[in-house]
Structure 1
Amino acid sequence: MSEMISLQIKRKDAGKIKSGFPLLKKEAIVNPHVLKKEGQLLRLVTESGEFLGTGYYGKQNKGYGWVLTTNEREKIDESFFINKLSQALAYRSSFFQNLSTTAFRVFNGEGDGIGGLTIEYFEGYYVINWYSEGIYAFKDLILSALKKVVQYKGLYEKKRFDQQGQYIEDDDFVDGERAQFPLIIKENDVNFATYLNDGAMVGIFLDQRNVRERIKDYYAKHKTVLNLFSYTGAFSVSAAVGGASKTTSVDVANRSLSKTIEQFSVNQLDYEDENIIVEDVFHYFKYAKRKEFTYDLVILDPPSFARSKKFRFSVAKDYQKLLEDTIDLTNDNGVIVASTNYSGFDMKKFKTFIDGAFKAKGERYKILEEYKLPKDFKTNPHFKEGNYLKVVFIQKA
């Protein structure tokens, strides 16, 4: 870390920072030329020199850095990180007592006061996610602080940054003992195989925990289930544990086949009783319509952006069309679980896609329930983009 520099914030943005907005947006900065090296501590001031806060310089797709404190006397040292981590752990104390769920998020970026940093817990192991070179510059301080506030079997890390915003391949192990993989974690008494050392993804998205539980406990029994963009089949497994008559998982990635087979197997479920299809979802729509396949429960959780040989997909532009195709594969009175983790629009906007899709198909619908991020994914109320998850259970009337 280098010497603290003074960064001027435009008048119209200064009030937002005073109120708790944590992101340093490029367009809010008066003198960006002073930013030389990511990890610089920033004394944030108005154009007239009034103190606003202390932050750090770290480029993400979201901005140029994050505010760490608005207290002029607060130093950004090991004690600062110990305090933030301790508060985060206390907030999630009940999760550590829950024997039916052994994986969750223990630190959620700006929601816990340090944008660009998340930490997750997996059955005694911790995984640290660094989202910029800027926050990675504080690695030694943060690791030292973490070691003083938690007991762990081992530490792993994910460097989710480079000049193109891609994941940096590396040996993800940091400290302690190496885990034996697959590491089996529990989520609401369902088993999932995870790999903490295998690239950016570990095998399960923890933010969908409550949605999977609801599918398992309420929606799946005796139902035919289609899971689109299925990744490792976590929704499919939850549905099968919940008594689904048959699940169909569709994903274009070749490794989704072996990963999904593994997830069924660690729950003592016969994967041969299920359909696991490696195919472009857009091709599958055409195939399923031609074969007149329909399902009782369809889970639609696409990535924000996707590209295959013939298709490019963006949630912001294409979700409504994707939902229209999904409606065609849904039985009357069937349920669609429409989901997105895209932070560029809110739930109100998302519902306009739902309404537009059903109107375009001439179908009626009923919204049954909605989900956002679970409690362990703590958010900052002044930063709405941080509460990114939007899930709507829709019944086709």
Structure 2
Amino acid sequence: MKNLLKTANEKRAPLFDVTDAYRIVNGAADGFPGMTLDRFGDRFQVQFFGPEMLSRRRELVDAVASQFNPACIVVKERLSRAGKSLENAPMEIALGTREDAVGTVREGNARFHVDLLDTVNPGLFLDMRHVRLEVEDRFRAMTGGQFNAGAVQAGEPFNANDKRPAQSFADINGPRFLNLFSYTCSFSVHARLGGAAVATNADISGKILDKGRENYALNGLDLRPGEFFRGNALEYVRWACKKGLKFDGIVLDPPSFARFKGFNFNVREHLMPLVSECAQILNPRGFFMVSSNYSEFALDSFARDVLDAVRSVHEKARTAWKRGQDIDFVGSGSTKDSCLVATLVEV
């Protein structure tokens, strides 16, 4: 087992200079069916998505400890005894303490807080790393490499029912970024590090947005007007459209299902109409990345549908790329717990 872990880790060697947060084992493709192993600095997360390796759980933990000398190992069982997926997975600290499960990781020029015991997700989705890094590069190209992190004024959340003019936000000069379903705001951190003048985050969870603010602080970024909005993405997009706000880059990375104030978001039903509405607040020569981990989407048809939705507003839009998970997700798409479709459109 140690040799399998060593071989799997060596496959990820191209990432070692980029980040210390990556997936070491991605299930059967790495010789560990039904199981994943993620590294977050010197913290390691083992997840069981099937029963295949459960009987060797102790052996596996010992092998990870011996091979990597971690500060902490957290084990999560993502399936019930009936074999059904669990979102509120049982968690066990197999090595270390509760305090050891918390720390920071590096990703390119950015740093992020992680907590392996907070929820199923530690605070950073590893399979979108390559897109986050590209977002930073794109804003750096827009600004000629000028990093703009100077203080403006204390950030204030925008309320969709707020009748005040958006002048404080609109008067900020420089390229703007919109991060919908923002989670802990990692895309926005990269955008700001690349030189975005403002990076707006929309998420239904105030707790999650607070974690985003912590990530801004960790990277020396001030909070600017309009950067944190607690509410659903559609609510914000319609508000922004009404106010005449425009963005030079948009990322739309929704969960498959979400619920907020009686509205049930279903990615199959609501994603493409939302893409069309987002396109209305995208500046010419801007970019728009749309992704989903819904396992029923096929990459080619997904990219085509996104392009058609954007072209309903920007006739000359084109697909810059379409792809799946980053290189540490070996065998991506072969199982429901390792799937992603993503496409980037330029207008």
TM-score for both structures, normalised by structure 1: 0.72
Which protein, 1 or 2, shows the higher relative CO under an 8 Å CA cutoff with sep ≥ 6?
2
1:389 paired residue number? 340
Give the % identical residues. 27
1:215 paired with 2:135, answer: yes
1:87 paired residue number? 7
**Alignment RMSD:** 2.4
Change in Cα spacing, 1:371 to 1:171, as seen in structure 2 (3 Å) is closer
2:195 paired residue number? 243
**What stretches of structure 1 of length at least 5 have no aligned partner?**
1-80
2:115 paired residue number? 195
Match of 1:161 among 72, 79, 84: 79
Distance 2:88 2:233 in 1: 28
Distance 2:238 2:183 in 1: 20
What secondary structure sits across from 1:201 in the alignment?
coil
CA contact (8 A) 1:215 1:238 kept: yes
CA contact (8 A) 1:217 1:242 kept: yes
Change in Cα spacing, 1:357 to 1:206, as seen in structure 2 (3 Å) is same
Change in Cα spacing, 1:152 to 1:358, as seen in structure 2 (3 Å) is closer
1:288 paired with 2:233, answer: no
Change in Cα spacing, 1:250 to 1:119, as seen in structure 2 (3 Å) is same
Q: For residue 305 of structure 1, what is the amino acid of its counterpart?
A: F
Give the stretch that moved more between structures: 199-208 or 282-291: 282-291
Per-residue CA deviation, residues 92-148 of structure 1 (Å, 9 max, x unaligned), is 24544x2x5111111111221323211111111211112245543331232233334
1:298 paired residue number? 250
Change in Cα spacing, 1:274 to 1:111, as seen in structure 2 (3 Å) is farther
What secondary structure sits across from 1:139 in the alignment?
helix
Q: For residue 344 of structure 2, what is the amino acid of its counterpart?
A: F
1:104 paired with 2:55, answer: no
Q: How does 1:1-397 map to 2 (within 5 A)?
A: 81-96=1-16, 98=17, 100-133=18-51, 135-162=53-80, 165-168=85-88, 170=90, 172-176=92-96, 179-180=99-100, 182-219=102-139, 221=143, 222-272=174-224, 275-361=227-313, 363-379=315-331, 383=334, 388-396=339-347
Q: For residue 128 of structure 1, what is the amino acid of its counterpart?
A: V
Displacement of 1:351 after TM fit?
Answer: 1.8
Distance 2:287 2:14 in 1: 32
CA contact (8 A) 1:211 1:371 kept: no
Distance 1:171 1:388 in 2: 23
Matched length:
313
Displacement of 1:388 after TM fit?
Answer: 2.2
Per-residue CA deviation, residues 34-89 of structure 1 (Å, 9 max, x unaligned), is xxxxxxxxxxxxxxxxxxxxxxxxxxxxxxxxxxxxxxxxxxxxxxx334323212
Per-residue CA deviation, residues 168-212 of structure 1 (Å, 9 max, x unaligned), is 455532114554564111001201011112121101101111111
Per-residue CA deviation, residues 332-386 of structure 1 (Å, 9 max, x unaligned), is 22211112222212211112212331354463311223342221111168x3867
Distance 1:89 1:358 in 2: 39
CA contact (8 A) 2:177 2:248 kept: yes
CA contact (8 A) 1:159 1:167 kept: no
Displacement of 1:285 after TM fit?
Answer: 2.2
Larger radius of gyration: 1
Give the stretch that moved more between structures: 167-176 or 296-305: 167-176
CA contact (8 A) 2:311 2:317 kept: no
Q: For residue 319 of structure 1, what is the amino acid of its counterpart?
A: L
